[in-house]
């Protein structure tokens, strides 16, 4: 088993004689997978016509009151369990007050002092070992609407479809030290939530975005530097770019003898730089106070236990099982479990291969050929053009020598069009491997006869020519000859 | 004019059920009297032609099983009414027409009630004299240029002047009981969670409660029976077993223990109020109840606590009136400028004062000293009542420290205005039910009220005590119709 190791691949910034390390903490906003909003029954579908999924509550009409959506509570607790976190049986919804055109109530209902989920952890698989990242808390809150500034020359337009959609804010401890760790953390978080079905993790649609807190300090120092918060970054690549820029900016300031202002910054994706949005002095005073429209949220032990019963096997456990049960390497297991659908596909293939199976071969084919096809076609594995059943048959055909690995690639290409049964493809195209020793012997005899001079040269020590004979044999059999048998026979005959 | 409008609700219902009166006749008379009473300025929005239409429809297909068969009712303009303008007494909602109905009003229509119109009130229910309304102050039918109290001033005035047989108000710190006291009418503030807040323009969510206002205790009990329902659209609505308040109403209060809190004998309390209170004590004794002296030691902190909690919640509740989505919008150079102009022009002075107080007490650095402290004191005030209710079944106090005052008299002195609610505010802070009943007149002939405070969910008990006392007091309101002549 791999272990939490001392990081030997530290990400450090060096200036003159100084080495700086980066301290990163993330506040991830994950949209809860739910048919309806956190406090209203409006739909939450992405991409609907503007203002078509808005209730009177979402638009903050006079006298409208929030009513908690129990499903969203379950989803948050489920996520908390997935993060191995403490579930708080009593939590409180607070109002975070500020004015903005896309915030109809004039406040966001969030959780401030008493979140629904407390401390937890996430394990990252880094190239040099595992790393544990602490979770500070997870709380539920409403999303705001969307201000659209570029559709009208004079006016800002507001779309309230998103207003009131449930978000989980997952706050990490400042445990991350490099852009790569941030990438691994986001991917792991997303993987866990997809396993749980609590957030689809779709960053293009804004279902997952993060505020990134960055500070730097001389390596080895115990004190934390002044941090800057980069708001609302919506792709892993941008997070990494923003961190690199921001860390270097801070190091430069320190090297120049200047101080860092605690502030909120924006990442400009076009210029690849962060810039100041507001300083600490200009920070909003949100005037948090418990929302008097909502009672404190109390959940029973039984309620939590019932949710626990629904928790599927999570990536870390699955990985351990894959290593134990299928003798996979940690590396292979990590790849297969990172996405729940990949893991599911793999396990289906394993089951469908039956008794005499070659799991290693299946893994190689999934991570090699299948991933390549999915990549080139920009498909998820759940949309794979080759079903797990036919994929299993293909692996078995290779394993039992019916076709060679090379022919298998041809067969696989034919399978992609309409998920054809590889067995039939082999039969219809006569691609079955020739493994009859007598037929192959005759074939080899003929080749040696036709190339007598080369055979002599080989015998005189020009061993490289062996390849030539193999090639001739494969060519003569249109690639169908069993390469292993050809090798054996050639060695004997030459 | 016939005497229809002089009839009690119970009589009107009886006569309609006996087919001695039609809904149309009743509705017409209340409309006529309302139209003659413009000088009171009790209405913000009249819905008379629709009301008449609905009355005719009721008469065509009458359902006498309903509790309010074709009874016309005007309501405080804080309740959202579908397709009828709802202003909360504010310029900022001057053009607002809801597409939805509040649960409380819906309950009334479900029982056959017919909307007459929307009654004047202090802006966002912030006031004790109805002088903060954008739509002008309301006259007290008792005498010209006298305030009807507030914030449900239009409601109290309308019931007192018999422009509506009954009505509903809302009570955050005394807004039902104080105007009831000022107009010689009955007003009940139910237990917090008894009536749904869905569709009521919010002032202070943890204190707001709708309640009935009527000319007598029985009518009040009937309306409470109708409006109090558990509602899943309001998370603070409580699912408890509600009694049939009017049917279970009885005058037998023998052996009930009534508490008299010594802290309510405030300095500078007029002798008339002292005497009224004593009279009340004598009445309940007459009814066979036992008087027990009690202490509610944190009473003196109630008013300052209220004026932190209520504005804090209001400052947040009123943030939605920003000119973006509905209501009044002033033109501005940019978003912030539009906000500032809209809210400066759209809200009146008292509302702005409370928004500022509320914003201040929630600000970082002040939150602990004000809001958090106030919440702790609020708990202590509630504990006071819990302790007292170990010894008594209900508490008797005056409703207000004085009778109705002149329009303009306290307008520029907010603190003196706030003192009006000194006896009513603790009840809201503790979430308890309280009823004000008319109990006598002062030397000027203005009505004075007594308040009976009950245990949570014990409305039946305080209605019974009020019912028994009402019988002994035999109060008669002196209405001269001065505004019609």
A236 to chain B, minimum CA–CA distance in Å? 33
**pLDDT per residue over A89-136, tens digit each?**
999 999 999 999 999 999 999 999 999 999 999 999 998 889 999 999
Q: Which of B201, B235, B371 has its CB closest to that of A63?
A: B201
Name the residue in chain A with its Cα closest to that of B323.
Answer: A101
State the catalytic residues of B.
76, 151, 175
Question: Using CA atoms, how far apart are residues B309 and B207, in angstroms rounded to an integer?
Answer: 9
Q: DSSP states of A227-293 as a string?
A: -EEEEEE-SHHHHHHHHHHHHHHHHHHHHTTPPPPPEEEEEETTTTEEEEEEESTT------EE-TT
Whether chain A has a CB inside 8 Å of the CB on B201: the answer is: yes
Q: Which of B201, B316, B326 has its CB closest to that of A107?
A: B316
Q: Do B320 and A293 count as a contact with CB atoms less than 8 A apart?
A: no
Whether chain B has a CB inside 8 Å of the CB on A51: the answer is: no
Question: Using CA atoms, how far apart are residues A368 and A389, in angstroms rounded to an integer?
Answer: 18
Q: Kindly tell me if the per-residue pLDDT of A180 is higher than 90.
A: yes
Give the domain ranges of chain B.
4-257
Question: Using CA atoms, how far apart are residues A243 and A13, in angstroms rounded to an integer?
Answer: 12
Tell me the fold of B4-257: Amidase signature (AS) enzymes (3.90.1300)
Q: Do A65 and B322 count as a contact with CB atoms less than 8 A apart?
A: no
**pLDDT per residue over B170-201, tens digit each?**
999 999 999 999 999 999 999 999 999 999 99
pLDDT tier for residue A282 given thresholds of 50, 70 and 90: confident
**Token couple for B132:** 């903060």
Q: What pLDDT score was predicted for residue B266?
A: 83
Higher confidence at residue B321 or residue A445? B321
Q: Do A68 and B322 count as a contact with CB atoms less than 8 A apart?
A: no
The continuous run of DSSP H or E covering A448 comes out as: helix A437-450
Q: Kindly tell me if the per-residue pLDDT of B391 is higher than 80.
A: yes
Sign of CA dihedral A396, A402, A404, A406: negative
| Torsion angles phi and psi, residue A34, rounded to 5 | -160, 140
Name the one residue in this structure whose structure tokens are 């008594």.
Answer: B392
Interface of A with B in 343-372 (CB under 8 A): none
CB-based burial of residue B230 (10 Å sphere; 0-12 exposed, 13-18 middle, 19+ buried)?
A: middle
CA of residue A76 relative to chain centroid, distance: 19
Q: Are B176 and B220 in contact (CB under 8 A)?
A: no
Interface-testing mutation among B81, B85, B200, B235, with chain A (most A C-beta atoms within 10 A): B235
Interface-testing mutation among A65, A96, A288, with chain B (most B C-beta atoms within 10 A): A65
Q: Are B261 and B296 in contact (CB under 8 A)?
A: yes
Q: What is the mean pLDDT of residues B308-314?
A: 98
Cis bond before residue A154 (omega within 30° of 0): no
- pLDDT above 70 coverage of chain B, percent: 100
pTM for the full predicted model: 0.91
B17 to chain A, minimum CA–CA distance in Å? 35
Q: Do B339 and A99 count as a contact with CB atoms less than 8 A apart?
A: yes
Q: Kindly tell me if the per-residue pLDDT of A9 is higher than 70.
A: no
Question: Using CA atoms, how far apart are residues B233 and B197, in angstroms rounded to an integer?
Answer: 9
Q: Which of B88, B198, B319 has its CB closest to that of A99?
A: B319
Sequence-ordered list of residues with C-beta below 8 angstroms from that of B75, at least 6 positions apart, any chain: B81, B105, B108, B115, B118, B119, B155, B167, B168
Beta-strand ranges (E) seen in B89-178 are 114-119, 167-170
Q: Are A196 and A82 in contact (CB under 8 A)?
A: yes
Question: Using CA atoms, how far apart are residues A443 and A453, in angstroms rounded to an integer?
Answer: 18
Question: Using CA atoms, how far apart are residues B21 and B144, in angstroms rounded to an integer?
Answer: 33
Q: Residues of B with CB below 8 A from A68's CB?
A: 235
Name the residue in chain A with its Cα closest to that of B206.
Answer: A292
Q: Residues of A with CB below 8 A from B318's CB?
A: 106
Question: Using CA atoms, how far apart are residues B389 and A52, in angstroms rounded to an integer?
Answer: 52
Whether chain A has a CB inside 8 Å of the CB on B308: the answer is: no
Sketch out chain A's domains with CATH numbers. 12-308 (no CATH), 315-428 (no CATH), 437-493 (1.10.10.410)
| Torsion angles phi and psi, residue A147, rounded to 5 | -90, 130
Q: Do A106 and B320 count as a contact with CB atoms less than 8 A apart?
A: yes
Q: What is the mean pLDDT of residues B102-111?
A: 98
**Token couple for A186:** 């986001």
Q: Residues of A with CB below 8 A from B362's CB?
A: 97, 287-289
pLDDT tier for residue A464 given thresholds of 50, 70 and 90: confident
Q: What pLDDT score was predicted for residue B416?
A: 85
Q: Are B199 and B103 in contact (CB under 8 A)?
A: yes
Q: What pLDDT score was predicted for residue A4?
A: 38
Q: Kindly tell me if the per-residue pLDDT of B209 is higher than 60.
A: yes
Q: Which of A59, A67, A68 has its CB closest to that of B233?
A: A67
């Amino acid at each position: 088993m791999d272990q939490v190791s001392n990081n030997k691949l530290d990400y450090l910034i060096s200036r003159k004689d100084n080495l700086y390390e980066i301290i990163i903490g993330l506040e991830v906003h994950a949209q809860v997978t739910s048919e309806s909003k956190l406090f209203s029954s409006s739909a939450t579908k992405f991409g609907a016509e503007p203002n078509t999924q808005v209730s009177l509550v979402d638009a903050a009409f006079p006298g409208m009151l929030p009513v908690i959506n129990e499903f969203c509570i379950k989803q948050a607790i489920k996520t908390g369990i997935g993060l191995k976190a403490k579930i708080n049986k009593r939590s409180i919804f607070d109002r975070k007050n500020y004015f903005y055109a896309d915030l109809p109530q004039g406040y966001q209902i969030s959780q401030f002092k008493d979140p629904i989920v407390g401390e937890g952890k996430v394990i990252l698989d880094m190239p040099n070992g595992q790393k544990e990242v602490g979770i500070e808390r997870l709380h539920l809150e409403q999303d705001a609407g969307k201000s659209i500034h570029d559709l009208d020359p004079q006016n800002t337009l507001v779309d309230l479809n998103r207003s009131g959609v449930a978000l989980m804010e997952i706050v990490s401890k400042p445990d991350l030290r490099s852009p790569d760790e941030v990438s691994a953390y986001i991917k792991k978080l997303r993987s866990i939530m997809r396993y749980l079905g609590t957030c689809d993790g779709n960053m293009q649609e804004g279902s997952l975005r993060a505020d990134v807190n960055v500070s730097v300090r001389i390596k080895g120092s115990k004190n934390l530097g002044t941090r800057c918060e980069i708001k609302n970054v919506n792709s892993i690549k941008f997070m990494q770019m923003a961190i690199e820029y921001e860390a270097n900016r801070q190091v430069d300031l320190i090297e120049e003898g200047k101080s860092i202002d605690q502030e909120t910054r924006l990442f400009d994706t076009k210029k690849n730089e962060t810039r100041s949005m507001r300083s600490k002095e200009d920070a909003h005073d949100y005037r948090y106070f418990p929302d008097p429209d909502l009672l404190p949220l109390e959940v029973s032990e039984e309620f939590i236990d019932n949710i626990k019963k629904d928790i599927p096997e999570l990536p870390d456990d699955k990985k351990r099982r894959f290593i134990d049960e299928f003798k996979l390497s940690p590396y292979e297991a990590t790849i297969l479990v990172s996405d729940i659908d990949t893991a599911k596909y793999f396990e289906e293939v394993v089951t469908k291969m039956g008794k005499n199976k070659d799991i290693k071969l299946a893994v190689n084919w999934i991570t090699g050929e299948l991933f390549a096809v999915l990549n080139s076609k920009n498909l998820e594995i759940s949309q794979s053009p080759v079903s797990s059943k036919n994929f299993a048959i293909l692996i078995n055909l290779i394993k039992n020598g019916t076709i060679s690995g090379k022919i298998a690639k041809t067969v696989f290409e034919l399978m992609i069009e309409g998920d054809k049964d590889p067995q039939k493809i082999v039969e219809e195209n006569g691609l079955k491997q020739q493994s009859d020793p007598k037929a192959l012997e005759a074939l080899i005899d003929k080749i040696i006869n036709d190339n007598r001079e080369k055979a002599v040269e080989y015998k005189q020590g020009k061993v490289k020519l062996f390849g030539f004979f193999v090639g001739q044999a494969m060519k003569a059999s249109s690639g169908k000859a069993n390469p292993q048998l050809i090798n054996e026979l050639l060695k004997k005959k030459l | 004019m016939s005497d229809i409008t002089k009839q009690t609700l119970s009589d009107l219902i009886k006569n309609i059920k006996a087919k001695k009166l039609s809904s149309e006749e009743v509705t017409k008379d209340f409309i006529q009297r309302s139209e003659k009473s413009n000088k009171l300025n009790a209405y913000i929005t009249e819905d008379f032609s629709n009301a008449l239409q609905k009355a005719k429809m009721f008469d065509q297909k009458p359902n006498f099983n309903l509790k309010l068969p074709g009874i016309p009712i005007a309501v405080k303009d804080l309740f959202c009414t579908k397709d009828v303008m709802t202003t909360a007494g504010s310029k900022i909602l001057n053009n607002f027409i809801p597409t939805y109905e509040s649960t409380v009003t819906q309950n009334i229509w479900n029982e056959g009630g017919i909307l007459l119109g929307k009654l004047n009130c202090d802006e966002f229910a912030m006031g004790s004299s109805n002088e903060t309304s954008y739509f002008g102050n309301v006259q007290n039918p008792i005498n010209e240029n006298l305030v009807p109290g507030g914030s449900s001033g239009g409601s109290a005035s309308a019931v007192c002047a018999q422009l509506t047989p009954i009505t509903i108000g809302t009570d955050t710190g005394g807004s039902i009981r104080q105007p009831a006291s000022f107009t010689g009418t009955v007003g009940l503030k139910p237990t917090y969670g008894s009536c749904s807040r869905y569709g009521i323009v919010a002032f202070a969510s943890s204190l707001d409660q709708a309640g009935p206002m009527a000319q007598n205790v029985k009518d009040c009990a009937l309306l409470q029976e109708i409006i109090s329902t558990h509602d899943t659209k309001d998370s603070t609505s409580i699912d408890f077993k509600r009694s049939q308040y009017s049917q279970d109403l009885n005058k037998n209060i023998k052996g009930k223990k009534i508490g008299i809190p010594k802290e309510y004998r405030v300095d500078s309390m007029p002798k008339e109020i002292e005497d009224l209170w004593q009279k009340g004590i004598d009445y309940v004794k007459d009814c066979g109840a036992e008087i027990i002296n009690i202490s509610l030691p944190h009473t003196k902190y109630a008013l300052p606590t209220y004026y932190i909690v209520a504005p804090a919640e209001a400052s947040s509740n009123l943030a939605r009136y920003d000119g973006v989505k509905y209501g009044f919008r002033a033109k501005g150079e940019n978003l912030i400028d539009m906000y500032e102009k809209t809210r400066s022009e759209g809200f009146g002075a008292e509302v702005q004062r409370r928004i500022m107080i509320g914003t201040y007490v929630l600000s970082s650095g002040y939150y602990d000293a004000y809001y958090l402290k106030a919440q702790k004191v609020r708990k202590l005030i509630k504990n006071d009542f819990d302790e007292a209710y170990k010894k008594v079944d209900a508490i008797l106090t005056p409703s207000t420290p004085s009778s109705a005052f002149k329009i303009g008299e306290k307008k520029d002195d907010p603190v003196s205005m706030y003192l009006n609610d000194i006896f009513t505010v603790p009840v809201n802070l503790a979430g308890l039910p309280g009823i004000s009943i008319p109990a006598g007149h002062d030397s000027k002939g203005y009505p004075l009220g007594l308040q009976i405070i009950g245990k949570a969910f014990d409305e039946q008990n305080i209605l019974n005590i009020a019912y028994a006392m009402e019988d002994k007091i035999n109060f008669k309101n002196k209405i001269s119709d001065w505004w019609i002549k």
